[in-house]
Structure 1
Amino acid sequence: MLFERLSSKTIQVTAGVCGGQPRIRNTRIPVWTLYGLALVIATIASKFSRD
């Protein structure tokens, strides 16, 4: 229930802000930026864990 409340309020889509792309609430940080950052971190972590 908490996750549903947070997920419904943390992502906003507003025309004219970030090109209308989904963004973190009350910021201009697009969701795709955080997704890309998570992928980079996961890639780096996997390279270090293979040693």
Structure 2
Amino acid sequence: MSKNFKIVVLAGGVGPEREISNRTGKALSEALKKNFQVELIELTEEQ
């Protein structure tokens, strides 16, 4: 794969699944970093 691709992972949010979304988003970001440029955006309740 190529590091020329950038992937943005959105995590968090306002619902009851926020913590799970944050943990899953972080894990996914770490796995993708092996082959891609990755930016993790954690959405807060204010966003």
Task: Report the TM-score, using the length of structure 1 for normalisation.
Answer: 0.36
Larger radius of gyration: 1
Q: Which has the higher strand share?
A: 2
Q: Which is bigger in relative contact order (C-alpha 8 A, separation at least 6)?
A: 2
Task: Report the TM-score, using the length of structure 2 for normalisation.
Answer: 0.39
